[in-house]
Homo-oligomer: A and B are copies of this chain.
């Protein structure tokens, strides 16, 4: 199969009820507030290389990546709004500042330039140098695509060329690979933007070398008297070569960035063993280690994947960055294989565990996305029960700066002769000579219209989601009898302007259960409508949402929750048990009585947008 390619974010305009508002909040709030936070914390000024020991705001090893992600977001946003001169000017200034920090040899890392110059490349396992480099490359590529200017891109090419003199299989080079993966996928973007195969080659080297014996991280660790056990290696996905890895292990963001880079390299090199490894690892994630919301990472210990079916709701991690990374990995797999199941998971992570990480206003964040929250929830480190404006380790807010402007491009893919809609978000897309307008209120409504604005001879393929039990389509008013082919409704014709494809996806309130091996969800149900996971908040239902009993067999209704106008809420009947505990922790031989009550469920991703609230996603049932 000829793989699909992404469509440029700027080629998609949105006016749907979910994405469009998020992109706008990113423009008006997420990016400006992240810039302000970067300034406040020293993450911008550090590029002046004027920091000295004893000054406040000691530059951290991951700072460059934070600001790089903001810059990438600004560039992507500029591509969406090419007339925004203020944004263009601000971005240009920052780019000059970043470039000014580049060393004569091409090295570009503020921490190891001003804080710890003697330890450059000495602790790749921990110190994020290649990770920061990757994010700068992504920013440079986005800047190049948005502005046409090569200055940032050329600087990062110089850095990448220098890195290629440091790392590689040749004698005298470090036979190593990043402790925090990311540069692999970034080098693929750099290769695409420049047409230079050498960057793809370096990406492939990092992937192929990973986990081989003798183990680089073990050897490196011995140099600094650190002993790394197999768990330490697995946390970095470096315990065995990537093609031998069958379980998604270790730090979930690292893992998913690696897998995304593997898929990128596999697509560009046509390496079937690498794509097979991606398939296997994807199945491990989505088939055994993923929360219903598309969240990954079942423990804060190492921010990591744990075991098959270990998906505790109250001590979840499900980092926002991991959900965004899963979206990207799934998107690569959907494009590489054309298989609908990858797009299904992309959509599941996107509408739930990714967007849950940011407030509707765009300026409050969850790092960890728990599925059950109340006053008892154990919060430490990056786990919070209320959205935060920033974190010391602020990967998630800055990830949203660059993730949200891509929402439109996630909806569509293309390959020669075919335009593919994976998510029918209302708006429009242009690709080659074709232009299509999408109408409707997906994912809140299943009636979707595709109107050809500019036609031509091409295939329009539209995903029929696997959650959809019944659907129908009509072309220019006439029912289409053709079925879906492997998950896609595929219409091939010489499209004329004004042609109209109508699609009706049946949206029902579905009762979801987990595989019985997921003991955390035993006896519980979740509610979904289409791709959207619903949850109960105490702002709607009063305290004790985890103790409400929601019978599975009932006529659920749609309505609206206060403060979430335009968003369908699910309404139904529940039972509330009496408290027979008399204030004690445990009590014997008293059967609580039950009273009937109603419940209101709202989309999981929208929780904690109306003040402090309890949360229950998996609901006690009967």
Residues of B within 8 A of A312 (CB): 312, 314-315
Query: Which of the 9-residue segments A86-94, A107-115, A585-593 touches chain B?
Result: A585-593
Residues of B within 8 A of A523 (CB): 523, 547, 549, 620
The contact of A546 among B299, B519, B526, B588, by CB within 8 Å, is: B519
Residues of B within 8 A of A586 (CB): 292, 512-515, 526
Query: Which of the 9-residue segments A213-221, A259-267, A283-291 touches chain B?
Result: A283-291
Whether the pair B515, A376 counts as a contact (CB closer than 8 A) is: no
A393 at the A/B interface (Cβ < 8 Å)?
no
Whether the pair B585, A519 counts as a contact (CB closer than 8 A) is: no
Interface string of A379-399 (1 = CB under 8 A from B): 011000000000000000000
What residue of chain B has the Cβ atom nearest to residue A520's Cβ?
B314
Chain B nearest CB, measured from A570 CB (Å): 14
Q: How many residues of A are counted as interface, with CB atoms below 8 angstroms from the partner's CB atoms?
A: 68
Cα–Cα distance between A517 and B586 once the two chains are bound (Å): 11
Cα–Cα distance between A587 and B525 once the two chains are bound (Å): 10
Chain B nearest CB, measured from A526 CB (Å): 8
Interface string of A538-580 (1 = CB under 8 A from B): 0000001011010011000000000000000000000001011
Residues of B within 8 A of A36 (CB): none
Of residues 568 to 622 in A, which have CB atoms within 8 Å of B's CB atoms? 577, 579-581, 583-592, 616, 620, 622
Residues of B within 8 A of A372 (CB): 519
Residues of B within 8 A of A457 (CB): none
What residue of chain B has the Cβ atom nearest to residue A307's Cβ?
B376
Whether the pair B590, A513 counts as a contact (CB closer than 8 A) is: yes
**How many copies are assembled?**
2
The contact of A547 among B306, B315, B519, B546, by CB within 8 Å, is: B519
Whether the pair A308, B376 counts as a contact (CB closer than 8 A) is: yes
Chain B nearest CB, measured from A535 CB (Å): 14
Residues of B within 8 A of A300 (CB): 301
Cα–Cα distance between A589 and B292 once the two chains are bound (Å): 15
Interface string of A299-339 (1 = CB under 8 A from B): 11110001111101011000000000000000000000000
Whether the pair B290, A585 counts as a contact (CB closer than 8 A) is: yes
A174 at the A/B interface (Cβ < 8 Å)?
no
Residues of B within 8 A of A298 (CB): 378
Q: What are 21 sample pairs from A and B whose C-beta atoms fall under 8 A apart?
A: A287-B583, A287-B585, A300-B301, A301-B301, A301-B381, A306-B376, A309-B376, A315-B315, A374-B517, A376-B519, A510-B589, A513-B592, A514-B581, A515-B581, A515-B583, A515-B586, A516-B592, A517-B544, A522-B547, A522-B620, A526-B586
Interface residues of A (CB under 8 A from B): 231, 286-288, 290, 292, 298-302, 306-310, 312, 314-315, 372, 374-378, 380-381, 467, 469, 508, 510-520, 522-523, 526, 528, 544, 546-547, 549, 552-553, 577, 579-581, 583-592, 616, 620, 622
